[in-house]
Amino acid sequence: MHLLHTADWQIGKGFGPIPGDDGAALRNQRLETVTTLAELARTEEVDAVLVAGDVFDAQSVSDRTIRQLFERLRAFPGPWILLPGNHDAAVAESVWDRARRLGAVPEHVYLATEPAPILLEEAGLAVLPAPLQRRHEPADVTAWLDAAEIPAGYTPVGLAHGSVTGFLPAEAEAANPIAPDRAATANLAYLALGDWHGTLQVNERTWYAGTPETDRFTSSHPGNALLVTLPGDGGSPAVETRATTRYRWHRLSQPLHEPDDVVALGDRLASLGEPTTDQVVDLTLRGALTLADKADLDELLAAWRGRLRHLRVDDTELTTRASEADLAALDGAGFVATAAERLRQGAEAGEPADATALEMLLAAYRRQGGG
């Protein structure tokens, strides 16, 4: 038996810190990645696709977004099992209720909004879902799996969304706990988990798939789906990682002191991979550059902003200084030279405003043909 395990699509996710066209492209790609998953499921001829929660980013997504998502699922005609997570919990008047009212749910898509077995007769698969029926559950909603009754001949597979107790970082365990041995106590062939955005193995029968489309700088090993093969003899599943992400997110820090450092930064950005338009970069700069080197840096960053999907720059720890050549250009400039000298002294004393003002003064002087 072959399964495709995925989770944390978060369709409709906003990218507040990434505005405009860049944020829209990242948001739209999440739907495109569902199409990638459907193609993967069809190519691998899986028996079912298990989506372990947070299909939608919020209950408030638009009706159009709901329809768009379910239309993408038609590309793979086999069973899809969609589980409510903490972002799209099966609360009263949930996004799942709207999907049903809209008539948007195809017949081959199962909404696992109740803790009850979903039996796929053709595959001989019993999916035991543990839906979240509110955003935060203090108790382990997978506990019912231990006593679940399924017909003889069906292979039991669990589907849940939450934090495996004692396994994830403490900040991830605030709510929705899952017992680390649930696959064993419930005698599951496999337990498909969501909530952690990176691909992660808990034990031989329990995995987090992670989000299939990278959406942040801090996730560990995101951007995958899992192809799970369950042997007929009840042995351990074989789990293979399949890369599905389009966009790749990078957090970089670069010291800058000399002209060669600016060149090295350009080389580092070029090494992130092709196409460059699929790279999202958070760049922190620190150090001190001459005004001429700062101008080269600004030109470099402007060029890369046009090549990358998104470039966010934090240069609060980068200062500029006037070189002797910069100051020599002001010889004979009268009050401009006097003002520059005063600003230079303030910059050397650690006044960032004076450093910025000096840079602006020299740039304006050059634009006017003075140097």
C-alpha of 235 from chain center: 33
Report d(CA 257, CA 310) in Å as an integer: 25
Instruction: For residue 168, name the pLDDT band (cuts at 50, 70, 90).
Output: confident
pLDDT value of residue 213: 97
Task: Name the more confident of 312 and 345.
Answer: 312
Q: What is the mean pLDDT of residues 279-284?
A: 97
Q: Which pTM was predicted?
A: 0.87
pLDDT value of residue 84: 98
Model confidence over 32-84: pLDDT tens digits? 999 999 999 999 999 999 999 999 999 999 999 999 999 999 999 999 999 99
Radius of gyration of the chain (CA): 27
pLDDT value of residue 230: 97
pLDDT value of residue 292: 83
pLDDT value of residue 352: 60
Report d(CA 248, CA 278) in Å as an integer: 6
pLDDT value of residue 174: 63
Model confidence over 106-151: pLDDT tens digits? 999 999 999 999 999 999 999 999 999 999 999 999 999 999 999 9
pLDDT value of residue 82: 98
Locate 219 and state its tokens.
């996730």
pLDDT value of residue 203: 96
Q: What is the mean pLDDT of residues 169-185?
A: 82
Model confidence over 313-366: pLDDT tens digits? 999 999 877 666 666 655 555 566 666 666 666 656 666 655 666 666 666 655
pLDDT value of residue 358: 63
Model confidence over 332-347: pLDDT tens digits? 555 666 666 666 666 5
- Do 82 and 73 meet the contact criterion of CB atoms below 8 Å apart? no
Of 94, 135, 133, 130, nearest in space to 115 by CA: 130
Instruction: For residue 218, name the pLDDT band (cuts at 50, 70, 90).
Output: confident
State which fold the 2-243 domain adopts: Purple Acid Phosphatase; chain A, domain 2 (3.60.21)
pLDDT value of residue 320: 79
Residue 368 has pLDDT above 70, yes or no: no
Q: Could you tell me the CA-to-CA distances from 149 to 127, 142, 183, 232 in Å, in that order?
A: 11, 14, 15, 20
Model confidence over 256-269: pLDDT tens digits? 999 999 999 999 99
- Do 33 and 219 meet the contact criterion of CB atoms below 8 Å apart? no
| Angle between helix 335-348 and helix 352-367 axes, rounded to 10 deg | 150
Task: Name the more confident of 364 and 159.
Answer: 159
pLDDT value of residue 321: 72
Q: What is the mean pLDDT of residues 283-289?
A: 95
Model confidence over 182-215: pLDDT tens digits? 999 999 999 999 999 999 999 999 999 999 999 9
